[in-house]
Structure 1
Amino acid sequence: MTTKADVVAPSSLSQRYLNYLGYIYLIAFLSYYVQFPALSSRSGIEPAELAFKRAYPWLYVNIVESGYCDADSFVELLNVLGVILSIVIASGIAHHGTIYLATTAMYRFLVVLGRSFYTFQWDILLVEAGFLTGICFAPWRTFTLFQASDDGNHNNEQQVGSWPIRFLFFKLMLMSGIVKIQANCPTWNNLTALEYHFATQPLSGPLAWYAHQLPPILLRLGVAATFIIEIPAAFLLVCPFVTMRKVGSWMQFSLQLLIILTGNYNFFNLLTMALCLPCMIGDTPRENVRSFNHRLWKAMQFAFCAIFLTWSCKEMFGIERIPDVIDPERRMLGLKLIMTSDDCNAILERAVPITVACTLIFTIATGVRSTLKKTTNRLSSCTHCLVCCICITSTAVSFIDITPNFNQTSLGRIMSAPGMQYVRRYSSNISHSYGLFRRMTGVGLIPIDAVDKHTRWAGIPPSIVARPEIIVEALIDDSEEWRELNFRWKPGRVDIFPRQVAPHQPRFDWRMWFAALSTAEHNPWFVSFIKKILDGCGPVLDLLDEPEIAAGTHNITLVRASLYHYDFTRLNSEWARRIPGAKVTNTSTFLRIPEQVWNRKLVRQYLPPLEASNPSLREYLEHAGYQSTICLDNKNRCSDVDPASLSSCHLARYLRNLSGTSWTMPLVAFLSSLILVRYCNSFQSRRQKNKLKLA
């Protein structure tokens, strides 16, 4: 008879992580599906068929050229299958390694076909996290429906399999912090990055304008806290003791929550939060949790974390009291970064190899302990432990990209071994380096007549924001007056407040942010977009917030683009008045929303006026590899689609309209999955209770 002691309670954190990864995949697949017609379909800006033919020629020949299915229908079919598998994972219907690997493979396939619109780090991170989860963390020996696996072997495997995911999280955060210092960007070195960030990030959130008004000392403390969380606190994520890992995880969780409140970074922050869960998995028996020795040991770990983080602050930052240049009797708190790029290189050359070695040792030790348990298949446990060690080594390969003289380090010499060459070669398909905002963009030049002591704040010159932004203008019908075209999410009109769109990512609006940092010649996809709206392509016109043009009531005859510099308006404060060129409002309170949110000025012409029949436009696109493709008109945009994908076209159009006006689509998908999760969890709880009753 089954006894109560024989029933192994599944780890709730493990199941939550597996479910949450399904949520994130669901958001990613739905977001891709909604934007596919405008971005990657045959009539889109960058047709996926061209990338399909180059990246997967054998598959293209067997599917498209053989006549089984056209490229667009095949991509949409994979997208729908990805949505179905994501719902299966998120709802807890079934958790198995093959499901996670299949979902990851489909998303990676779609990312490759998405071309320049899917080159973001979170897409790569989702693929890497999904791969490690499928190989190391998800169950393989049991396939259960509507319940978590209650197999003791699987719980032991999760203890081992969590180490590769922890190391991935460590790599993500450490690289994100290290590259900021390695770049020698003045904004990061002076701790003034947040004085630019809220206004210059790709898509600001509703609270970004308010965060931009905070005093400089708070913003500089925020930059210092970011460095502490991303560099020293990252090492806590791979500690062998769960309390230390929890401290590091909660610090990362807090940082991601603040980023969510002020920016629109799609599912990236949610994925980072999900990676915190494997770090919180412990193996302390429940009967020992309340013991005095356990509490004492836990307090000692908290004390170690406090001492370590305090020492890190002392080594990384310097504090001094600086007299105000206007009022010398007034002292300002000056905070500066004393950690240099050489210090970061020393961390990469010495601390990272030690961390990799320790992580491998912890993984092997956890695997050995699991093999000593009676319920564990020893051969299977040894194989699983070996696979996890290989995955950790493969994940560490990407440190090559940011480590000077890598081959001279201990880790580099190990990687140079003959057997490790294969690991380095094949791991590049999955493992990548990370590091957002290596250099802060939108940093304006200080006017010569403004470089004086009266504009300084705590000894640092004022932070002048000059966010580059492309404004597209058009001649409509027979009009001779240029009209600014509004986009759904990117800044345009100065009276439009930033809106919330995450976890959905409007890829085109994001790419417009990158295009503004260079010229039109370096962004052929933008020129392709101009050609599409001149031709009246319905799916591409839906990217605009122009209902009459999208409906075909008006037609675009001529298009041009100009480059502007944007900045948030400022509340009436002492530090705002010291910033040359800043637009200061009449109010000094947060309670009143200003009539003008942005301040902008014209910089230069970005793209000269173009018409659809311009031969130079056609020649440029053909030279850039943008072959002439079909273009669905704005009246019957689904009429020219093959019958096999007709219903998919109408569904995508409906979902696209929902996502264009609000974030209803991601919300509906999230709530639907949440209902399924609740149902499956309640079903699982009833099964567990029935087992306990039989005991």
Structure 2
Amino acid sequence: MEWFTASDYWLTRLVFQRALAAVYLVAFLTAALQFRPLIGRRGMLPVPRFVERVPFRRAPSLFQWHYSDRFFALCAWAGCAVAAALLAGLDSLLPLWGGMLLWLVPWALYLSIVNVGQTWYSFGWESLLLEVGFLAVFLGNDEVAPPVVVLFLLRWILFRVEFGAGLIKMRGDACWRKLTCLDHHHETQPMPGPLSWFFHHLPRPLHRVEVAANHVTQLVVPFLLFTPQPVATAAASLMIVTQLWLVLSGNFSWLNWITIVLALSVVRFPADPPEVPEAPLWFVVVVLVVATLLVGLSYRPVRNMLSRRQVMNRSFDPIHLVNTYGAFGSVSRVRYEVVVEGTRDDVPRAGSDWREYEFKGKPGDPRRWPRQFAPYHLRLDWLMWFAALSPAYADAWFGTLMERLLENDRDTLKLLRRSPFPPDEPPRYVRARLFRYRYTTWRELRETGACWERTFVREYLPPTRLAGPVHRP
């Protein structure tokens, strides 16, 4: 069975598994802390309402059989516990089949969450975590050397992530071909980080170099992943450096980190492999059957990747086994933000005391500098960015958000940085207004201390109040 395993990659597997467990932990923690106001029983898009109209075959999930906020919390915190156990190396202390079952648990739990998460879980990195997490089940533990075919399939995922993203850029916005997209991207990206202002103000020739280097990393380097070592390690290392550059320049949830984890599966660390027994026949059969299935399912993602009508971040099966990826096929030139305000006045007027709600990550107060949140995912803040692009992105949930603010709903307010109203004094009216934001210049920053300058564009939602008294559960 020497052809089946690659003992030189035992340390690679160890690093990959521990890093993946850390990403799992962040994902489950995000779900546990945010689900009630988003998809809970009184959430903006409640799970019970979703499972009433979507059958199990289209969205397999534990919550198709039973849902309560307490049960969801139990699953999310159980996912945190299992991820922490995997991070600590519990899978190495179990027999091979036990380690595989332990890795299967977070995958099944997170699949259950994603499949009922609706628009709050519609991001490409959700499917990417599930696809990578499924393969991790079949990497084995200390009782067997890493299977070659699983290592190959991990490279195949990394290839599709990078090459697919490169193709969508070349086929999409002309600024990628003109090397000018980064003249705008650092300012208009969904959630800027603490260094994004400085990245935006880099010299424009350096922005051209950034874009050109990105094209090389995404369109050329991925092919080197399938070459012999040490070339494959060098290619993966270049991808890691590129992803770390993106980590510094913005808040992209765990997209960059899961990509780094994938790249680590390619790196061969210099270490003498321990003596391990030969892979048992049942393990070989299971791995080869799963690999054959995944190769067959790759047909549709490959067809999409090569199509002129390529789409981004699409799952082609309900359990997210093989997916298509991509990011920023188009880049906004102007940044818009929805600013939400409330007032205690009985009748809203032009001179009313409107107070602004502050979100954790998205720009609001022009003087408040962006913070680093990634790999933690602020789901409401991300969707507010989409809402600013078009109200159609927020049709399903924005009205409920405003209702919850009028109620001073405790769980909803936990999603925000600060509410301008005391818990026992909710606003009588709320409204939303659309502003154009731009980064200040170096001179403006020195004179005002503000990193943003904003200009009123139009009313997004007129002053609104509750139709009747608030009834709390």
Shorter-chain TM-score bucket reads 0.7 to 0.9
Q: Deviations over 1:230-272 (max 9, x none)?
A: 1101111222x12111111111100111111121122221111
Q: What aligned pairs does 1:245-256 form with structure 2 within 5 A after superposition?
A: 245-256=232-243
1:274 lines up with 2:261 in the alignment: yes
**Match in the other structure for 2:312:** none
1:557 lines up with 2:460 in the alignment: no
Question: In the aligned structure 1, how far is the partner of 2:393 from the partner of 2:286?
Answer: 52
**Match in the other structure for 2:162:** 173
Question: In the aligned structure 1, how far is the partner of 2:89 from the partner of 2:25?
Answer: 13
1:529 lines up with 2:381 in the alignment: no
* 1:120 to partner: Cα distance: 0.5
**Match in the other structure for 1:233:** 221
Question: In the aligned structure 2, how far is the partner of 1:498 from the partner of 1:160?
Answer: 43
Question: In the aligned structure 2, how far is the partner of 1:264 from the partner of 1:601?
Answer: 24
* 1:476 to partner: Cα distance: 2.4
CA contact (8 A) 2:11 2:271 kept: no
* 1:555 to partner: Cα distance: 1.4
CA contact (8 A) 2:357 2:419 kept: no
| Aligned CA distance change for structure 1 residues 489 and 631 (closer, same or farther; 3 Å) | farther
* 1:70 to partner: Cα distance: 5.1
1:71 lines up with 2:68 in the alignment: yes
Gaps of 5+ in 1: 1-7, 140-148, 287-372, 407-423, 444-465, 573-583, 588-593, 615-629, 634-639, 641-695
Percent of aligned positions that are identical? 27
**Match in the other structure for 2:304:** 401
* 1:138 to partner: Cα distance: 3.0
RMSD: 3.2
CA contact (8 A) 1:567 1:599 kept: yes
2:107 to 101, 104, 108: 104
1:613 lines up with 2:467 in the alignment: yes
* 1:85 to partner: Cα distance: 1.1
Question: In the aligned structure 1, how far is the partner of 2:376 from the partner of 2:407?
Answer: 28
Q: Deviations over 1:98-138 (max 9, x none)?
A: 2222211110111122211111111110011111221x323
Q: Deviations over 1:339-378 (max 9, x none)?
A: xxxxxxxxxxxxxxxxxxxxxxxxxxxxxxxxxx994556
Aligned residue for 1:556, secondary structure, equals: coil
CA contact (8 A) 2:21 2:83 kept: yes
Question: In the aligned structure 2, how far is the partner of 1:477 from the partner of 1:117?
Answer: 33
CA contact (8 A) 1:569 1:596 kept: yes
**Match in the other structure for 1:162:** 151
| Aligned CA distance change for structure 1 residues 521 and 267 (closer, same or farther; 3 Å) | closer
Question: Which AA in structure 2 matches 1:88?
Answer: A
Question: In the aligned structure 2, how far is the partner of 1:71 from the partner of 1:476?
Answer: 34
**Match in the other structure for 1:434:** 325
Larger helix fraction of residues: 1
| Aligned CA distance change for structure 1 residues 542 and 397 (closer, same or farther; 3 Å) | same
Question: Which AA in structure 2 matches 1:567?
Answer: R
* 1:405 to partner: Cα distance: 8.0
CA contact (8 A) 2:164 2:325 kept: yes
* 1:388 to partner: Cα distance: 2.2
Q: Deviations over 1:166-215 (max 9, x none)?
A: 100111110011101111x1321221111111111111110111111110
* 1:28 to partner: Cα distance: 0.5
1:385 lines up with 2:288 in the alignment: yes
| Aligned CA distance change for structure 1 residues 569 and 161 (closer, same or farther; 3 Å) | same
Q: What aligned pairs does 1:277-676 form with structure 2 within 5 A after superposition?
A: 277-281=264-268, 375-377=278-280, 380-381=283-284, 384-404=287-307, 429-441=320-332, 443=333, 466-476=334-344, 478=346, 480-519=352-391, 523-547=395-419, 549=421, 551-571=422-442, 595-613=449-467, 633=472, 640=473
* 1:511 to partner: Cα distance: 0.4
Question: Which AA in structure 1 matches 2:32?
Answer: Y
Question: Which AA in structure 2 matches 1:278?
Answer: S
TM-score (ref. length: structure 1)? 0.60
Q: Deviations over 1:9-60 (max 9, x none)?
A: 98222111111111111110011101112212122222122223344569x9
Question: In the aligned structure 1, how far is the partner of 2:470 from the partner of 2:215?
Answer: 48
Question: Which AA in structure 1 matches 2:321?
Answer: I
Question: Which AA in structure 2 matches 1:388?
Answer: A
Aligned residue for 1:565, secondary structure, equals: strand
Question: In the aligned structure 1, how far is the partner of 2:253 from the partner of 2:67?
Answer: 30
* 1:82 to partner: Cα distance: 0.9
Question: In the aligned structure 2, how far is the partner of 1:285 from the partner of 1:9?
Answer: 7
Q: What aligned pairs does 1:212-227 form with structure 2 within 5 A after superposition?
A: 212-227=200-215
TM-score (ref. length: structure 2)? 0.86
CA contact (8 A) 2:386 2:394 kept: no
Q: Structure 1 residues 394-403 or 190-199, which shifts more? A: 394-403
* 1:396 to partner: Cα distance: 4.7
1:87 lines up with 2:78 in the alignment: no
Question: In the aligned structure 2, how far is the partner of 1:25 from the partner of 1:110?
Answer: 13
2:182 to 194, 198, 201: 194
CA contact (8 A) 1:249 1:279 kept: yes
Question: Which AA in structure 2 matches 1:89?
Answer: L
* 1:510 to partner: Cα distance: 0.6
Question: Which AA in structure 1 matches 2:267?
Answer: M
Question: In the aligned structure 2, how far is the partner of 1:65 from the partner of 1:600?
Answer: 45
Q: What aligned pairs does 1:24-43 form with structure 2 within 5 A after superposition?
A: 24-43=23-42
Question: Which AA in structure 1 matches 2:209?
Answer: L
CA contact (8 A) 2:407 2:426 kept: no
* 1:164 to partner: Cα distance: 0.7
Question: Which AA in structure 2 matches 1:517?
Answer: L
| Aligned CA distance change for structure 1 residues 244 and 535 (closer, same or farther; 3 Å) | same
Question: In the aligned structure 2, how far is the partner of 1:85 from the partner of 1:284?
Answer: 28
CA contact (8 A) 1:170 1:235 kept: yes
Question: Which AA in structure 2 matches 1:159?
Answer: V
Question: In the aligned structure 2, how far is the partner of 1:47 from the partner of 1:116?
Answer: 11
Question: In the aligned structure 1, how far is the partner of 2:257 from the partner of 2:62?
Answer: 35
**Match in the other structure for 2:139:** 137
CA contact (8 A) 2:186 2:192 kept: yes
**Match in the other structure for 1:263:** 250
CA contact (8 A) 1:41 1:48 kept: yes
Question: In the aligned structure 2, how far is the partner of 1:598 from the partner of 1:570?
Answer: 9
Aligned residue for 1:516, secondary structure, equals: helix
Q: Deviations over 1:458-514 (max 9, x none)?
A: xxxxxxxx2011111221255832222222221011111111112211100110001
Question: In the aligned structure 2, how far is the partner of 1:390 from the partner of 1:533?
Answer: 48
